[in-house]
Structure 1
Amino acid sequence: MTLEAIRYRAGSLQIINQLLLPQQTVFEEVHSVQDGYDAIKSMKVRGAPAIAIVGCLSLAVELTAGAGGDDPVSFIRESLCHLTSARPTAVNMGRAARELMEFAENESMEKNSEQLRESVIAWIEDMLERDVNDNRKIGVVRSLHALSRLKRVYCTETRPYNQGARLTAYEAVAEGFPATLITDSMAAITMRERGITAVVVGADRVVANGDTANKVGTYQLAITAKHHGIPFYVAAPSTSCDLSLESGRDIVIEVRPSEELTSINGIPIAAPGIEVWNPAFDVTPHQLITGGIITELGVFLPSELQAALTGRLTAL
């Protein structure tokens, strides 16, 4: 069953609080840009495409209520800058912010404040529709590709569908893959003894040479797959591909608060004053992505990605 994790209607936005999954499925209202920022920063919303969608929709909710008054352009600019700062490693929010800001500035030359708000809201709603369609295309690409012949697929994402490019347990079943799901801690032994035939992960940023930033643990999973001769795939929409960066060395990795590791539900589990480095992502070198990078435009080897996306996006 496909679950809707983002519920949007004109002027209304609800999101599933992913911090409570799988024990609880709780929808929370997002009334403002600040609510959207908080949901992204606290990781109630995860996945680069979903971060961009929720951020922009939170702006749409405020604009529907008339935010920005006689100067909506300044409000939009300040809001997008604020949202982009919430989780900077995830590329989609920054890309959406640049494109939306350019659109808003162009529209402001010909339209009054109310008309501008309506145009920006429509742009954001179109963005949501495009994202859903892109994910459907990624599913079709997977079905047409050799993945459709695989018997056991290791999926890193087991959350309900979050309107971001993620091969979840739910999507794997929907696409007809008889997937065997294992936890990260059991990855090596299961690959060796259970006959896993592919690993598929998501990505928050894919750069020009095919290096990929994803949740911490992806790098060692890729190493394990390489050791066992198992194809390693990345599934991400083209909006998560950042061709402006040459390699993973150029990706700025978000560092999370130390309290996420030193306490559980507010209860300390580490010695007071201990130093903690808590990166939210690691970078998987393109050499370890042996299966390919799955996008809505096709499946590409890391070495093919830049030329393929540049040509196809230009054609579109």
Structure 2
Amino acid sequence: MQNIMSIETVSLNKDNTAVVIIDQTQLPYNIEMLELRTQEEVWKAIYLLQVRGAPAIGVAAAYGVYIGAREIETQSYEEFRIKFKQKKDYLASSRPTAVNLFWALNRMEKVVIDHADKSVQELKHLLLEEANEIKAEDIRVCRRIGENGLALLKDGDGILTHCNAGQLATVKYGTALSPIYVGLEKGYHFKVFTDETRPLLQGARLSAFELHSSGVDTTLICDNMASAVMKKGWVQAVLVGADRIAANGDAANKIGTSGVAILAKYYGIPFYVCAPLSTFDLNCKTGDDIHIEERSAEEVTEMWYKKRMAPEGVKVFNPAFDVTDHQNIAGIVTEYGVATAPFEKSICEMFSKRDKLKV
């Protein structure tokens, strides 16, 4: 089995004309690389989950808007700025919940705004440099999250995870799975239980695939088996990622995460959210302010089945995410340390550390 850790999830091709991604809809059957040469192709890849995971979406969006900028044919700064914003807004419409999408696009737009004195050609070069830095920063940040998260674990621990917040959700290492990979490098031996994660099976298709191919002791379980393995004492910590974190510590992540957090609290198991500061949205006071994406009914009724597994015409509720209450979170692992309750205070401290010392 090919080790997924040897492949970058998102990159730019050698002549800077295409965003290269692993098509995650093909995993684990095929490792297929896609070259996205237009903004429309990047938008479609994000919407269809060919690239997914908040940090990976951010990197793909940065490269995607750079590809769009290359297509702008003008020497007028003002015309370039207006057309660039149109392309940025277009990519921003691909998915509403993952804040890294907007964070990356805003960083790219800031390059244009801050360099009004540059030529269009120079602006395009600066945009390429910024997109490359967003990618490099993602790798550095995920490594640091892994090191900070590893300090919370012991060799031999059983760890449960939900959805996929591994390398496939970032450029390298991942967020929630980064402590496991950093531990693997240092000789730790963890036993990882991966929730299947319905309806899109990111745990089965992606987390189990990358962990198993990396040599990690991995056991796949259905979502409704989490309580059973916790009750047996097989789980000492839960590690999950996040797509958006509110100022009070409420965290939006793949649907089903909040239920895992409730179970973990019942069994006295620490529940950790692992995410970079770019995933925090301080404009959201609580989780109630986070917009939750709803997806098509077919993901529940038809996908993965040879025959439709629900009656025609039945109503379907298919939110892509739910919000875990901060009271059920033991800590939020970031690149600048671990935020703990009271989260309003500790999250502000994380941002103060960032302002003093960039990772």
Query: Same fold per TM (> 0.5)?
Result: yes
Alignment match of 2:316 (pick from 273, 276, 288)? 276
RMSD: 2.1
Q: TM-score, normalised by structure 2?
A: 0.81
Deviation at 1:309, TM superposition (A): 2.4
1:57 pairs with 2:97: no
Distance 1:240 1:160, change over 3 A: closer
Matches within 5 A, 1:178-189: 178-182=189-193, 183=221, 184-189=223-228
**Distance between the aligned counterparts of 1:26 and 1:160, measured in 2?**
18
Residues 241 and 253 of structure 2 are in contact (CA less than 8 Å); yes or no, is this contact kept in structure 1?
A: yes
Deviation at 1:158, TM superposition (A): 5.5
| Amino acid across the alignment from 1:103 | V
**Any idea what SS the aligned residue of 1:181 has?**
strand
Matches within 5 A, 1:214-293: 214-264=253-303, 268-290=308-330, 292-293=331-332
Partner of 1:67: 71
1:135 pairs with 2:142: yes
Deviation at 1:75, TM superposition (A): 2.8
**Distance between the aligned counterparts of 1:60 and 1:251, measured in 2?**
28
- Deviations 1:10-64 (Å, cap 9, x if unpaired)? 333211111121122111111111111111101111111111111111222344x
- Deviations 1:101-127 (Å, cap 9, x if unpaired)? 1221221x2111111111111111111
**Distance between the aligned counterparts of 1:54 and 1:31, measured in 2?**
12
Deviation at 1:270, TM superposition (A): 2.5
Partner of 1:29: 35
**Any idea what SS the aligned residue of 1:195 has?**
coil
Partner of 2:216: none
Alignment match of 2:109 (pick from 97, 101, 105)? 101
**Distance between the aligned counterparts of 1:253 and 1:78, measured in 2?**
24
- Deviations 1:159-205 (Å, cap 9, x if unpaired)? 76122643338726346442222223321111111421000001011
Deviation at 1:299, TM superposition (A): 0.9
Structure 2: unaligned runs, 5 residues or longer? 194-220
**Distance between the aligned counterparts of 1:21 and 1:159, measured in 2?**
15
**Any idea what SS the aligned residue of 1:264 has?**
coil
Residues 222 and 289 of structure 1 are in contact (CA less than 8 Å); yes or no, is this contact kept in structure 2?
A: yes
Alignment match of 2:122 (pick from 115, 122, 131)? 115
**Distance between the aligned counterparts of 1:119 and 1:278, measured in 2?**
40
Partner of 1:7: 11
- Deviations 1:230-255 (Å, cap 9, x if unpaired)? 00000001100111211001101011
Alignment match of 1:167 (pick from 164, 176, 186)? 176
| Amino acid across the alignment from 2:350 | L
1:306 pairs with 2:347: yes
Indicate the percent of aligned positions where both proteins have the same amino acid. Answer: 31
Deviation at 1:142, TM superposition (A): 2.1
Partner of 1:199: 238
Deviation at 1:302, TM superposition (A): 4.2
**Any idea what SS the aligned residue of 1:252 has?**
coil
| Amino acid across the alignment from 1:315 | K
Q: Deviating runs (4+, > 6 A) in structure 1? A: none
Residues 51 and 93 of structure 1 are in contact (CA less than 8 Å); yes or no, is this contact kept in structure 2?
A: yes
**Distance between the aligned counterparts of 1:302 and 1:68, measured in 2?**
48
Residues 97 and 244 of structure 2 are in contact (CA less than 8 Å); yes or no, is this contact kept in structure 1?
A: yes
**Distance between the aligned counterparts of 1:236 and 1:16, measured in 2?**
22
Deviation at 1:267, TM superposition (A): 5.1
Partner of 1:78: 86
**Any idea what SS the aligned residue of 2:167 has?**
coil
**Distance between the aligned counterparts of 1:98 and 1:14, measured in 2?**
22
Residues 185-194 or 171-180, more deviating: 171-180
| Amino acid across the alignment from 2:146 | G
Residues 91 and 242 of structure 1 are in contact (CA less than 8 Å); yes or no, is this contact kept in structure 2?
A: yes
| Amino acid across the alignment from 1:297 | Y
Structure 1: unaligned runs, 5 residues or longer? none
